């Protein structure tokens, strides 16, 4: 297919995009939520109870992400972006792997593992090392990772930004997401209702496969081959 004939392309990525780089997914075999109970590590209540334990868990995640490298699929998206206008990535991933591959224009729905924030003062700090540079705010509060945990509200500006580009796109390609977490689960339908051609790339069919015009059972690392042939 010739994807270059489309004017506005949204690539919507999930944990399966990073899986081939070695970052574990959430729900599949070896998924993070099978190994770790999110109630102990990934919600505000857990952080309020034991901030150090929750920060240690996220530091471990940062270390494991730093051991991984972007793959050919990430690089393909960067190349696509360098040769065409209006290519936007909307990702549920917090690992920053798209940016490490040189991709710009990434809307991070669930925030970033490389940022901390203080809800008391309303500030966010970039913090990109293997270990956290600073885990306490000037006000004395522990800083929390600026990501969406269970029971957290999503950042409404970011959702709006994603929704805007999804409604305007004429090609919507989802890669490596189970599609069951809202509001992201509504995106393919949103794209389709606005006339976009929708492609799903995943190693298996998902609950949302029926919405897509084309379903490709395949790997995120090989998207260049699927999308250019
Ligand atoms: P999931 O773990 O739910 O789904 C990962 C998807 O990737 C599955 O459908 C796999 O079949 C697919 N997959 C695995 N390896 C792949 C590969 N090499 N190539 C292509 N596809 C592959 O992850 P997400 O859909 O991203 O939220 O999960 C959404 C959100 O749920 C996450 O952002 C996270 C989680 O709870 C928060 O932490 C807030
Ligand atoms: Zn503060």
CA dist., res. 43 & res. 149, Å (int): 5
31 CB neighbour count, 10 Å cutoff:
15
pLDDT at 116: 97
Atom of ligand 1 nearest to the CA of 33: 36
List pLDDT tens digits, range 86-129.
Answer: 999 999 999 999 999 999 999 999 999 999 999 999 999 999 98
Is the pLDDT score of 197 beyond 90?
A: yes
Query: Which ligand has the shortest distance to the CA of 134?
Result: 2
Provide the whole-model pTM. Answer: 0.96
Catalytic residue status for 110: yes
Most ligand 1 atoms within 8 A of CB, residue of 30, 38, 92 to mutate: 92
List pLDDT tens digits, range 13-34.
Answer: 999 999 999 998 998 788 999 9
Nearest CA-CA partner of 131 in 217, 59, 54 = 59
HSE of 96, CA atoms in CB hemisphere, 13 A: 18
Whether residue 6 contacts residue 168, with contact meaning beta carbons closer than 8 Å, is answered with no
Residues with CB under 6 A from ligand 1: 14-16, 19-20, 25-28, 31, 92, 110, 148, 176-178, 181, 202-204, 206, 219-220
Give the pLDDT mean for 5-12.
96
Tell how far the Cα of 136 is from the centroid of ligand 2, in angstroms.
8
Query: Which ligand has the shortest distance to the CA of 27?
Result: 1
Query: Which ligand has the shortest distance to the CA of 216?
Result: 1
List pLDDT tens digits, range 134-160.
Answer: 999 999 999 999 999 999 999 999 999
List pLDDT tens digits, range 51-79.
Answer: 999 999 999 999 999 999 999 999 999 99
Tell how far the Cα of 140 is from the centroid of ligand 1, in angstroms.
35
Nearest CA to ligand 1 atom 14: 16
Whether residue 143 contacts residue 137, with contact meaning beta carbons closer than 8 Å, is answered with yes
Mean pLDDT of the chain: 96
List pLDDT tens digits, range 153-168.
Answer: 999 999 999 999 999 9
Tell how far the Cα of 109 is from the centroid of ligand 2, in angstroms.
23
């Amino acid at each position: 297919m010739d994807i270059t004939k489309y004017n506005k392309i949204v690539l919507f990525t999930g944990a399966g995009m990073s899986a081939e780089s070695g970052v574990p997914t959430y729900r599949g075999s070896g998924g993070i939520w099978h190994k770790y109970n999110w109630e102990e590590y990934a919600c505000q209540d857990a952080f309020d109870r034991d901030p150090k334990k929750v920060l240690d868990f996220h530091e471990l995640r940062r270390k494991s992400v730093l051991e991984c490298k972007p793959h050919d699929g990430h690089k393909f998206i960067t190349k696509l972006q360098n040769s065409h206008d209006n290519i936007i990535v909307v990702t549920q991933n917090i690992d920053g792997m798209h940016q490490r591959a040189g991709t710009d224009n990434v809307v991070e729905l669930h925030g970033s593992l490389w940022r901390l924030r203080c809800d008391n003062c309303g500030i966010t700090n970039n913090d990109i090392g293997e270990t956290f540079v600073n885990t306490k705010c000037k006000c004395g509060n522990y800083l929390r990772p600026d990501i969406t945990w269970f029971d957290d509200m999503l950042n409404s500006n970011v959702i709006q930004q994603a929704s805007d580009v999804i409604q305007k796109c004429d090609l919507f390609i989802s890669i490596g997401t189970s599609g069951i977490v809202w509001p992201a689960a509504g995106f393919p339908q949103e794209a389709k209702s606005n006339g976009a051609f929708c492609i799903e790339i995943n190693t298996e069919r998902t609950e949302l496969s029926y919405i897509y015009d084309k379903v490709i059972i395949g790997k995120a690392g090989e998207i260049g081959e699927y999308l250019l042939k």
